């Protein structure tokens, strides 16, 4: 059932029982711009549900469980991996989508696919691979996520990739340089890269996934950071967003002073909830102000999904704190520095001896791109095993 385009009509209830009706601003699977290779519709699933199922069954998706988010996979069993991060993004994204009457299935598909192009060893791996590819077109994980779903997955008889719908692919390609956009545009005129040339927005569902990504990692990196002992609650109390909910939780439950882990969870839970409600309220207002009525009008209206100015400032402060105190912590940068060396050495080894890669990759005419694809697809531990096999040395 379609409601009016004004999202403010929809009730938000703190309990989370929200209207399941779609706004006219939602992407409608019946109106999809379709797949690159025509396929008959599925009897029981819409286009986005089918996309999500293809993503969940892909090889790249299963590999996410052994890929680093911030902490290397072998450092502990409870830290987030790319897989649990992606699940948290999907959960947050769906909650917000449901409240706004946006398409939950599309949000889920984009969220589950958004990090498929990440290399092993997190951002360190991507930076090292980008350096290795400087003379050969570079390496960018968003572009790689699209490459995974468009080309690298091999599951279907008639085409490479997963043949996902336009709207899911649009959401997967969340950033793209002008040069890369022009390159993609030549291969697919008017396709998913077009908006980076025209400077328009992706669907509201895609915009939402970007924000859900940031909400998820800001929260889970606090949890993982404290668990690792690299950052402390005392340090976090210097961050307004954290301190506010910490104080609130302690005020309502003084006994939590004796239970630091529960206090941390309660603080994070409150932080997450308020960010979610802030996005819902701010987006409703932005949509009403813009006066847009359809998904296509929303794409032309500038960014509409976002935080209020106050929440934006508070989350920026938290992000800055995490950068300085966690992502650049000497213990993290020491490990990621060694992981970078491993990627560089692996790259050099495969370029010198392509036959050391699996046959499909070794046979590819564009050797450097093929090596980048091969390494990007690796899990942390496979990359470490391969590095040891080819160089005789252990990096970690």
CA 82 vs CA 19, 79, 169, 315, 374: distances in Å: 30, 10, 19, 21, 18
Q: Output the smallest distance, CB 103 to Mg ion, in A.
A: 20
Q: Please give the Cα distance from 44 to 203 (Å, whole number).
A: 24
**Least Å from the CB of residue 213 to Mg ion:** 4
Which span sits near Mg ion by CB under 5 A: 115-123, 149-157, 190-198, 306-314? 115-123
SS3 259: coil
52 to 45, 154, 296: CA distances (angstroms): 10, 16, 22
CA angle 352, 354, 355 (to 5 degrees): 125
Q: ∠16-19-25 over CA atoms, to 5°?
A: 120
For residue 323, the SS3 value is helix
Which range, of 35-43, 55-63, 112-120, 237-245, touches Mg ion by CB under 5 A? Answer: 112-120
Q: Which is nearer to Mg ion, 150 or 213 (CB)?
A: 213
User: 37 or 323: whose CB is closer to Mg ion?
Assistant: 323
Least Å distance between CB 65 and Mg ion? Answer: 15
| Spatial distance between the Cα atoms of 146 and 152, rounded to a whole number of angstroms | 9
* CB of 75 vs Mg ion, minimal distance in Å: 19
Residue with tokens 């409240």: 99
CB of 82 to Mg ion, least distance (A): 8
Distance (Å, rounded) from C-alpha 207 to C-alpha 96? Answer: 11
- Number of shown-chain residues binding Mg ion (CB under 5 A): 2
C-alpha span between 141 and 130 (Å, rounded):
9
Residue 85: CB minimum distance to Mg ion, A: 6
316: which 2 tokens?
Answer: 């920026």
Chain position whose Cβ is nearest to Mg ion: 213
Positive or negative torsion for Cα 195, 196, 197, 201: positive
In angstroms, what is the minimal distance from the CB of 78 to Mg ion? 19
Give the residue with the Cβ less far from Mg ion, 105 or 115: 115
What is d(CA 47, CA 29) in angstroms, rounded to the nearest whole number?
Answer: 6
Pick between residue 97 and residue 357 the one whose CB is nearest to Mg ion: 97
| Binding-site member from 105, 205, 213, 266 for Mg ion (CB under 5 A) | 213
* Residues from 28 through 67 that contact Mg ion (CB under 5 A): none
Contact range with Mg ion by CB under 5 A, out of 3-11, 48-56, 111-119, 321-329: 111-119
Phi, then psi, of 46 in degrees rounded to 5: -80, 175
Position among 51, 115, 140, 380 found at the interface with Mg ion (CB under 5 A): 115
For the bound state, the minimum distance from the C-beta of residue 217 to Mg ion, rounded and expressed in Å, comes to 6
Among residues 126 and 335, whose Cβ is nearest to Mg ion?
126
- Token pair 């036959």 is found at 355
Contact window for Mg ion (CB under 5 A) among 97-105, 110-118, 226-234, 294-302: 110-118
* Shortest distance in whole angstroms from residue 214 CB to Mg ion: 8
| Listed ranges 34-42, 147-155, 207-215, 232-240: which one lies at the site for Mg ion (CB under 5 A) | 207-215
Residue 221 interacts with Mg ion (CB under 5 A): yes or no: no
Task: State the burial class of residue 393 (Cβ atoms within 10 Å of its Cβ: 0-12, 13-18, 19+).
Answer: exposed
Instruction: Choose between 62 and 155: whose C-beta lies nearer to Mg ion.
Output: 62
- Report the residue number, 121 or 350, with the smaller CB distance to Mg ion: 121
Nearer to Mg ion by Cβ, of 214 and 351: the residue is 214
Q: In the complex with Mg ion, which residue's Cβ is closer, 89 or 301?
A: 89
Q: Which is nearer to Mg ion, 97 or 395 (CB)?
A: 97
Nearer to Mg ion, 47 or 271 (CB): 271
Phi, psi of 22 (to 5 degrees): -90, 140
Buried residues in 264-302 as b, exposed as e (16+ CB within 10 A):
bebbbebbbebbbbbbbbbbbebbeebebeebeebbebe
Report whether 159 contacts 380 (CB < 8 A): no
Q: What is the CA radius of gyration of the chain?
A: 22
- Report the nearest approach of Mg ion to the CB of residue 118 (Å): 8
| Contacting range for Mg ion; rule: CB under 5 A; set: 34-42, 107-115, 310-318, 342-350 | 107-115
Q: How far is the CB of 294 from Mg ion (least distance, A)?
A: 29
Chain positions contacting Mg ion, by CB under 5 A? 115, 213
């Amino acid at each position: 059932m379609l409601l009016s385009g004004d999202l403010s009509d929809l009730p938000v209830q703190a309990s989370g029982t929200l209207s399941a009706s779609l706004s006219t601003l939602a992407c409608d699977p019946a109106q999809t711009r379709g797949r690159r290779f025509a396929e008959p519709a599925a009897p029981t699933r819409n286009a986005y549900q089918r996309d999500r199922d293809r993503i969940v069954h892909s090889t790249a998706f299963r590999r996410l469980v052994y890929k680093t988010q911030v902490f290397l996979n072998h450092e502990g069993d409870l830290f987030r991996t790319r897989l649990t991060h992606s699940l948290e993004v999907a959960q947050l994204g769906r909650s917000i989508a449901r409240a706004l009457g946006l398409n939950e299935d599309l949000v889920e598909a984009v969220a589950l696919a958004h990090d498929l192009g990440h290399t092993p060893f997190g951002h360190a791996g991507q930076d090292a691979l980008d350096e290795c590819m400087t003379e050969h077109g570079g390496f960018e994980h968003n572009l790689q996520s699209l490459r995974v779903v468009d080309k690298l997955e091999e599951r279907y008889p008639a085409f490479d990739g997963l043949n996902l719908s336009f709207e899911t692919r649009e959401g997967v390609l969340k950033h793209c340089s002008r040069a890369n956009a022009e390159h993609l545009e030549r291969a697919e005129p008017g396709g998913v890269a077009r908006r980076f040339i025209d400077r328009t927005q992706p669907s509201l569902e895609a915009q939402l996934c970007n924000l859900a990504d940031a909400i998820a990692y800001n929260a889970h990196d606090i949890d993982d950071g404290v668990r690792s002992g690299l950052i402390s609650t005392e340090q976090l109390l210097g961050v307004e967003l954290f301190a506010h909910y910490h104080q609130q939780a302690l005020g309502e439950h003084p006994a939590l002073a004796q239970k630091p882990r529960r206090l941390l969870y309660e603080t994070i839970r409150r932080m997450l909830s308020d960010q979610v409600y802030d996005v819902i309220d701010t987006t409703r207002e932005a949509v009403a102000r813009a006066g847009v009525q359809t998904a296509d009008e929303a794409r032309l209206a500038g960014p509409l999904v976002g935080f209020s100015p106050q929440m934006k400032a508070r989350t920026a402060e938290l992000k800055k704190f995490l950068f300085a105190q966690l992502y650049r912590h000497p213990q993290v940068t020491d490990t990621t520095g060694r992981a970078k060396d491993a990627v560089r050495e692996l790259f050099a080894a495969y370029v010198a001896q392509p036959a050391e890669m699996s046959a499909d990759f070794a046979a590819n005419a564009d050797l450097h791109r093929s090596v980048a694809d091969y390494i990007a697809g690796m899990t942390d531990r496979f990359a470490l095993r391969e590095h040891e096999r080819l160089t005789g040395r252990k990096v970690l």
